[in-house]
Structure 1
Amino acid sequence: MTTRRIKIYFDGGCRPNPGTMETAVVVGGAARIDRDAGTGSSMDAEWLALIAALRLARERGIADFVLLGDAAAVVAQANGRVAARGDAARHLAAFRTLVGDGPMPRVRHIKRTQNLAGIALARAATMTKSRGGL
């Protein structure tokens, strides 16, 4: 019997760009959203979301997982297909430090419409606006 690889979705964004960053990670149907992840660019936010997804996998002791995000540039940099420069290089170093001596986790690009973390962020923003926030 084979076990299913756990899917962990990640997404980040900011408004305005650059501005206040937000991140979301979804695993097992539960979303973890950080609406104030500091100030930076949308690319910084995507990296912070990827790092948060890996941290969540470690916290939960999940060994067999795939990290799924819609930021093609971040996925390519995390997988070593594209060089990370500037702030991205710093984020990549933090990601690799978190990986440690173990194997690099699988990081895959998915369509925005498939990204449950992006959907969770959009819903959270809609709920905030409907309550009179932002």
Structure 2
Amino acid sequence: MSVLPIKLFFDGGCRPNPGKIEGAVVRKGVVHYRHDLGEGDNSDAEWLAAIHALELAAGHGDLDVVLLGDSTVVVTQANGRAPCRSAALKAHRARFAEIALGFDRVRLRHIGRAQNLAGIALARLHPR
């Protein structure tokens, strides 16, 4: 019997940039917000949202996950195709890798902003 991987959409942002960080993760149609992620810039926000996605998946006992996000920086750095150019990004990548050890398989895929359910959920918090 084959078990399908669990898809988790993630997105992070801050207002202003840099500023207070918030993030969202969508797992099985349910939005999980975090409004207490500290201060930082957009890259910090995206990394912290990806980390939150892994923590959420671990809490649910998921073992095979696909993280879907619209941050090229996080997806390429997490997949080892781009270097982390600051100490903060290196620390985020190390934390992500540490959590990922608890899974059978973790994959990250880049998706467009319009397809990112977590980004859509965050945008609804701040209508223009």
Q: How high is the TM-score relative to the length of structure 1?
A: 0.88
Instruction: Please tell me whether the aligned partners of residues 65 and 105 of structure 2 are also in contact (alpha carbons under 8 angstroms).
Output: no
Aligned Cα root-mean-square deviation (Å): 1.6
The 3 A distance-change label for structure 1 pair 63 and 76 is same
SS at match of 1:61: coil
What is the rounded CA distance, in whole Å, between the counterparts of 1:47 and 1:27 in structure 2? 17
| Cα deviation 1:1-41 (Å, max 9, x = unaligned) | 54332110000001110001110000011001112311100
Identity %: 51
Q: By how many angstroms is 1:100 displaced?
A: 2.6
Instruction: Please tell me whether the aligned partners of residues 68 and 108 of structure 2 are also in contact (alpha carbons under 8 angstroms).
Output: yes
Structure 2: runs of 5 or more not aligned? none
Structure 1: runs of 5 or more not aligned? 130-134
Q: Does 1:122 align with 2:123?
A: yes
What is the rounded CA distance, in whole Å, between the counterparts of 1:90 and 1:101 in structure 2? 18
Q: Which has the larger radius of gyration?
A: 1
Q: How high is the TM-score relative to the length of structure 2?
A: 0.92
The 3 A distance-change label for structure 1 pair 56 and 101 is closer
| Cα deviation 1:47-84 (Å, max 9, x = unaligned) | 00000000111000011220000000110000000011
| Cα deviation 1:81-102 (Å, max 9, x = unaligned) | 0011211111001111112365
What is the rounded CA distance, in whole Å, between the counterparts of 2:4 and 2:97 in structure 1? 25
